[in-house]
Amino acid sequence: MSKSDYWLDKRVLITGCTGVLGSWMTRRLLAHGADVIGLIRDWVPQSNLMLSETVDQIKIVRGNIQDEALVARIFSDYEIETCFHLAAQTVVGIANRAPVPTFEANIRGTWNILEAARNWPGTRSVVIASSDKAYGAHDELPYSENAALLANHPYDVSKACADMIAQTYANTFSLPVAVTRCANMYGGGDLNWNRIVPGTVRSTYRHEGPLIRSDGTMRRDYVYVKDIVTAYLMLAEALEADTDTHRGLAYNFGQDKPISALDMVQTIIGLSINPQLEPDIQNTARNEIQDQFLSSQLAHERLGWEPAHSLEEGLRETVEWYYDFLAKEPS
């Protein structure tokens, strides 16, 4: 487990703090006594960060991760010690329709963070969010960290580039940076309704059959956001405590239990208020890999990380979050 006393008074920058992972990470770090600085581009009142009033407890910088001068100023003005770089354009469909903004946010944004961290002498650890999508398609599953990055679609490539740039800063400049490659993360606060978990939960709340964009057979690994928060904190702690061991490494984090899209939707339906609903399989998804899942063995061995929630436990909490959120929406 993460050491809560490690974070007391530590100055932590979280980019993307209004996102699902960033909002839960902010709450955890505040509970541990950290001094959290959040970079926010868009003001989203429905964000978990705002709804939980966590935003009132942190220092806010308004701006864009692509603004090099702004990012550099944050590190120096707030004397950043640890940075969790989570800000990104994360929607595969948007990346396919408009790749350049995705490249700008995910690639330029990452090198801006790394360059600012390199030039600020107080930097102790930087954790960069890559993705399991950076691996691309492989015949051998599950992916281990030494698998080649074979991404060939816009979102996947943007994450592979950010991943490799982070390793460049570790190897060339000895920056204390490590990379996470997470399985499909879910949890309360994800307001992208095109994703399988929030979309399915909302459909069950509205008494509608959930949509499955693929043919339902694609297999993915899913991991609860609270377990990923723990993973990030443990990695940052390990990176500062033993920089030579962890610097430049990528770590996979997942449940290690792949499940098909159809089975995932049916599991959510079974936990919902409408367990009799039937999914609507549309089979319209394009540019997506058939099967993609990770091995988290390295994280188990080197970090001692294990997910604390089963799929059903995490989904039950997630369904409760969304039902509470949707009940408060204007009718």
Total number of domains constituting the chain = 1
SS3 (DSSP) at 182: strand
- What DSSP letter does each residue of 12-78 carry, written as one string? EEEETTTSHHHHHHHHHHHHTT-EEEEEESS--TTSHHHHTTGGGGSEEEES-TT-HHHHHHHHHHT
Torsion sign, CA atoms 292, 296, 299, 305: positive
Provide the pLDDT for residue 287: 67
pTM score above 0.85: yes
Cis geometry, peptide bond prior to residue 275 (ω within 30 degrees of 0):
no
Q: Which structure tokens are listed for 178?
A: 């490590």
Provide the pLDDT for residue 286: 73
Indicate whether 41 belongs to any domain: yes
Provide the pLDDT for residue 289: 79
Indicate whether 160 belongs to any domain: yes
Indicate whether 191 belongs to any domain: no
User: pLDDT per position in the chain (331 positions), as tens?
Assistant: 666 699 999 999 999 999 999 999 999 999 999 999 999 999 888 999 999 999 999 999 999 999 999 999 999 999 999 999 999 998 888 999 999 999 999 999 999 999 999 999 999 999 999 999 999 989 899 999 999 999 999 999 999 999 999 999 999 999 999 999 999 999 999 999 989 999 999 999 999 999 998 999 999 999 999 999 999 999 999 999 999 999 999 999 999 999 999 999 999 999 999 999 999 999 887 767 788 899 999 999 999 999 999 999 999 999 999 999 999 887 6
Q: How far is CA 202 from CA 113, 155, 250, 263, in A?
A: 35, 25, 34, 17
Q: Which domain holds residue 246?
A: 4-186+224-254+292-308
- The CA distance from 121 to 46, in Å, is 36
Q: Which residue has the tokens 């816009």?
A: 154
Helical spans, DSSP H, in 249-295: 261-270
Q: How far is CA 29 from CA 58, 77, 79, 199, 225, in A?
A: 10, 20, 17, 29, 14
Strand partners, 294: 143
Give CA 151 to chain center in angstroms: 18
SS3 (DSSP) at 320: helix
Indicate whether 299 belongs to any domain: yes
What CATH number corresponds to the domain at position 8?
A: 3.40.50.720
Residue 222 among the catalytic residues? no
- The CA distance from 296 to 101, in Å, is 31
Provide the pLDDT for residue 1: 62
Q: Which of 78, 155, 186, 222 is catalytic?
A: 155
Provide the pLDDT for residue 277: 96
Indicate whether 124 belongs to any domain: yes
